[in-house]
Amino acid sequence: MRVTVFHNSIPASITAAQKLMKLLKSGHFELDERHPEVVVTIGGDGTLLSAFHRYADQLNSIRFIGVHTGHLGFYTDWRDFEIEDLVIALKEDSGQSVSYPLLDVQATYADATSAHYLALNESTLKRLNGTMRTEVYIKGDFFESFRGDGLCVSTPTGSTAYSKSNGGAVIHPRLDALQMTEIASINNRVFRTLSSPIITAPDEWVTLEPTGRDDYVMTVDQFVINPPTIKQIRYKIAKERIHFARYRHMHFWDRVEDAFIGAKH
């Protein structure tokens, strides 16, 4: 098995990564940073997001494992004091995995160029100075004229992140759905939006056509993109999926309870 270890720079993560790599070498695993079969991330959800984008072009052949060195994350199943148990699980690996949907982002610019991105959590469109104005289409049909600070389109796993802070629903990641949430929309006698999160079907897509401005900012997960003048952004469920090695993959609703309620503790 080809394995690589991807970690952040905090001391606890570095220590855990050094211990894991030593055990992997003694266990005769092949350490392969370029073309791994398993990527073990050590840190938190942000570390796993970074690893996802690092290996986004190899998603069909990679499974991820998250080790957290802080608070329990939505993508991390192991703790840093369980490194030995993790290596045992890797030795007994039979290829088991669970997969979740991703967000396909296709941006077209006024100069006829385009860009394509994959998001694990969400993508947003905002305007730096003043109110954002954009036409919203669902599956090619006009839906509304949006006025406000911005819009957030998330995956089911991303529904617990920025989307939730904007009033979005928490969606189970086995559902192939997108969710669009408004960021401080304007609703009055002149401007009117649905003013509610929208959850689309698997065969639907959301298209934004903002008013021609050069001060829009687009985000894809933790990355901030200052694009040329945007003509159109299309969001849909990606054909690619992220795969996690399923040794003891924590139940989604247990993660939600632990992260936001904590009544079991």
Catalytic residues: 45
Whether 162 has a binding-site annotation, put simply, is yes
Of 40, 49, 44, which is closest to residue 17 (Cα–Cα)? 40
Whether 147 has a binding-site annotation, put simply, is yes
Whether 129 has a binding-site annotation, put simply, is no
> 74: Cβ–Cβ under 8 A, 6 or more apart, which residues?
45, 157, 160, 161, 255, 259
Whether 185 has a binding-site annotation, put simply, is no
Whether 184 has a binding-site annotation, put simply, is yes
Cα torsion angle, 37, 158, 203, 186, sign: negative
**Residues 112, 117, 121, 124, Cα dihedral to 10°:** -20
Whether 121 has a binding-site annotation, put simply, is yes
Whether 123 has a binding-site annotation, put simply, is no
Whether 149 has a binding-site annotation, put simply, is yes
Residue 243: CB atoms within 10 Å? 17
Binding-site residues from annotation: 45-46, 121-122, 147, 149, 160-165, 184
Binding-site residues from annotation for NAD(+): 45-46, 121-122, 147, 149, 160-165, 184
